[in-house]
Structure 1
Amino acid sequence: MSSRQRLVLSIIDFLNQSIDDGTVKQDDKESLEVAIQCIGEAFGVDPTDDRQNERLSVKPATLQSIFDVFIKTRDNFASPVASAAPPTQAPVKPSVADREYAEKFKGEGNSHMTAKQYDAAIEAYTRAITLDPTNPVYYSNRAAAYSSKNAHNEAAVDAEKAIEVEPSFVKAYHRLGHAHYCLGDFRSAASAFRRGLDIDPSNTNLNSGLRNAEARILPDDEPESVMTDAASSGAGAGAGGGLGGMADMLSGMGLGGGSGGMPDLSSFMNNPRMMEMAQQMMQNGGLERMMQNPAVANMMGRVQSGNMPSMAELMADPSLRELASQFGAGGAQ
């Protein structure tokens, strides 16, 4: 019964969200609320029961995202007979007014992203998509919002949708690669970055993402512990691994800041190897040179303003990659 109850809870969550975001007309709201109550009682699901919700919830996935993944998978594995069917009619192009309203919602979403109000940003981008489903930017922006709240499955679905709408939209391939990378699917991440590089071979972000993804792909006959041991020993940082290696080393020590979050400074200060590296940098003048680096000054300014850059941003900055290589070399001396 629990699997059915999980489905029912997901349906109830979807219906409640439809009420909250205005999808359902005000005149129909009361009827839908009664229907939600009847559905819950019929299957023994109480959406107000926190303990039951914790046991049955499928979050961060949603019924809509699960359905989107199913549709995408079914389309990818459609039979030859089905694929030979006549193409469906192209979606109706949005009106000029719809496009204008969609752009306004996109602007609202961007403002919410700046304020780190990711749920509000997702809602705004969703309204933009409803008005103009032909614009890949809206799907890409919503993918970024999902990634910012670590909902990487939903981010991957939106990135794929952006590519479906506009196959030459390069940024969507980076969003897709980033989502797969954060999910630990490094082969799919590398594939997404390569697809983007087929369109824009000189794209710095895609090249950096591909290098980082390929560095994490294990050979079929190599055990997982090899990668874990390499990360925990910090081999990437001292062997010319640059910021990518440094990221692995920090992650191995529990210092990875996540998606734009601050590292665990207490763990950092209590780690003997990191403190030894810091002392060596102070002795050989490396710390002073680091603080004079414009890239570090910019990063520190962002930290002081509360806008901590993510590890993905750091890895995409050439000057910080070079600085990380120097840091790794200095720490290994």
Structure 2
Amino acid sequence: MADVKKKQLVFNFIEFLRASAADGTVKEDDKESLEVAVQCIAESFGVDPDSPEQQAQYSIQPTSLLSLLDVYLKTKAKTGPAPSSSSAPAPAQQAGKPEPNDGDRIKADQYKVDGNAFMGQKLYDLAIEKYTEAIKLDPTAVYYSNRAAAWGALGKHEKAVEDAEKALELDPKFAKAYSRLGHAQFSIGNYSAAIGAYESGLELDPSNNNMKTALTTARSREAEDAARTREVPRGTAPSGAAAPGGMPDLSALASMFGGGGGGGGGEGAGGMPDMASLLRNPQMMAMAQQMMANGGLERLMQNPAMRNVAENMQNGGGMPDFTQLASDPSLRDM
């Protein structure tokens, strides 16, 4: 039995060496020497790495020796000195779940490997399924962070935020999770939150150029957004804008039309105003937006005087005298 275990170990070690040569880990000049070493090791232990029978008997694929080593190191780290009674329990214990065993960790790691492979193929839905299975077996910050990346690739940034925050809850010093969180917050327009995430990540990983660039972009976008949405201070509405009651300043409107119907510098040919220029006028735009926002336009069109104006224009009567409209008591009351 001991001889079988040794052969199994050697067989998988040879698989590791050959995989290292295939994935570029080993330099091209060293590959020939490595293959000679593989043949010598195989002969010494009576192993044939090209035998289908031994492949079925000894290989541990899809798990690898590296995965097993990683599980061992994690287990060793967790079985160090016992924590004091004041220490917080592990996340799984906090949720009332049993601590994952070595078998669970091996399976979870393989799910992660599969998920990473699907990410490389841009099969994001399948990647999410694999990461979710890994989380069920061993809920670690890495698996949540990886799933956050997959959610982001699908454009589901709110879910990416949730997973990134969960990863940081499990491991507050996991810099990559801050990067995932920053990207998700940026993608949904929460630039301030994105800036905070990137800044926290850079405190842990100051040399991360990707996060530095992302932080600069988020700050720039936040400044642009603030400039676009900056409100005009109360009491300083531009000339011609609506008064607090929702109605426009008709005297200013009259001045735009040259003082009344049929005259003034706002006219185009035939006595009508230049409507294209008028609609581009920022004062007109401000009045229209204010009236639409607070219902002033609806109340204005219900006024008899304005209905008469509309009917007159429809019957070819030309533009109204806005100076006269401005002095109408009913419109002033509105």
TM superposition score category, shorter chain reference = 0.3 to 0.5
TM-score by length of 2: 0.39
Q: Give the structure, 1 or 2, with the largest relative contact order (CA under 8 Å, sep 6 or more).
A: 1
Larger Rg: 2
TM-score by length of 1: 0.39
